[in-house]
Amino acid sequence: LSSNQFVGAIPTSLKSLTSLTYLFLSDNEYLDQGAIPEWIQDLVNLRELSLRKTVRMGTIPIWLDELTQLQLLDLSGNALTSTIPPSLGYSSSLRFLLLNRNNLNGTVPEDLNQLDNLELVMLDKNSLQGDVDAIFCDKKKLEVLTSDCKLPEVQCTCCSKCCSDDNDSCNADYSIVGQLDASLETGYKQEGYDLNP
């Protein structure tokens, strides 16, 4: 459902799709502004959720860690505010975490250090602070880490890309390619991602 010109609210009827494993609504910038829908927490089989550029506002919900199979969470390119909830550190299946290009602030929670399966993390173009080195640099599977590395924001010596508030083009063009065969029931494997900075 990505990259359409949908208008109106994200339909609540989607909550009845309790077996849904992939929900990509990204790049639908004509949707009504609003919070991340609470009914998404009922989609307990979700493995990939992308709400990139869907005019989401408000905070990142604390219930996301209840989606225990979630491997990809893309909330980038919205107007989300407040802090990253520490509860996100209990989403142990997460491999791809994209929170960049929002209005997030506060300290990057140390709880994210528990996410040992991370392969890609994007935090850039926010107003976050903290020691990203201590949280992410020891992750053996982590291939891509982007952040605003200019003090007084985060400290990140292991970032694969450092952005700054005065460079709007930094990391502006990237795309995530989700699971290509949604019929797979066993042996699930993320097909990959394309990062075009």
Q: What percent of the chain has pLDDT over 90?
A: 52
Q: Are 160 and 143 in contact (CB under 8 A)?
A: yes
Render pLDDT for 44-86 as a digit per residue (tens, 0 to 9): 999 999 998 888 899 999 999 999 999 999 999 999 999 999 9
Q: How confident is the model at residue 170 (pLDDT cuts 50, 70, 90)?
A: confident
* pLDDT computed for residue 139 by the predictor: 93
Is residue 30 very low, low, confident or very high in pLDDT (cuts 50, 70, 90)?
Answer: low
Lowest mean pLDDT among 5-14, 26-35, 109-118, 178-187: 178-187
Q: SS3 breakdown of the chain: % helix, strand, coil, rounded to 5?
A: 15, 25, 60
